[in-house]
Structure 1
């Protein structure tokens, strides 16, 4: 993995990132890789927010992974700062290579450097393989999540 670079995403990475977001049964229903317009607007909001870290993993000049890390200051847990890992995606050709573990390690290390006392993530209930992956990395399924579509 010495040829792997994890770096901040740029606007030039958007097509590859959105393609990875769409490359599974859930993403195929909710993403639109043919129209990057809404993603460009979202990228600008993310890039302007100092608490956001949208990164890509690049190997051989090719974008092969991504995740978004959000730093969340809070009052609970005695004013603890926490982080939230979202949108972890690995290119189909790279799954099982250890890249996902490297991206999560990056997110945990970055969270520590930012003074976070807790790292959390969510994963769709149907993603049982992902659940096993996160548990192998030391995460525990500790909460029940709820969503409200607006």
Structure 2
């Protein structure tokens, strides 16, 4: 997973702490963690394309949350940044190895592929079950100084 996922999650939380209706520029969000503005902007644009953020151009523009935190899962953010593809891609390496056969679908027959797919399903289910509201509530409980 790329660092863009972490940056996107933190940016969404920072937008949640903004005043209602306030847009935050990419530069302001990037400055909070000393991130490269251009690269963070790519992540924020991906979140906007996914309907997680809205983007307003102009001098008073910037980014805002497009949905309530309760409606944004961790999986939504991961998918917006990384895409919907599988994390593990079986290249059917066994086909090229000793005893490999052209008529076998090793994506289904390979024990490693099966184990990785099962783990990914659990991981995706966990991410889909946690919202940004859950994360924010935990942070708010842990620190009264949360921005």
Q: Using CA pairs below 8 Å that are at least 6 residues apart, which structure has the higher relative contact order? A: 2
Q: Same fold (TM over 0.5)?
A: no
The structure having more radius of gyration, on CA atoms, is 2
TM-score between both structures, scaled by the size of structure 1: 0.27
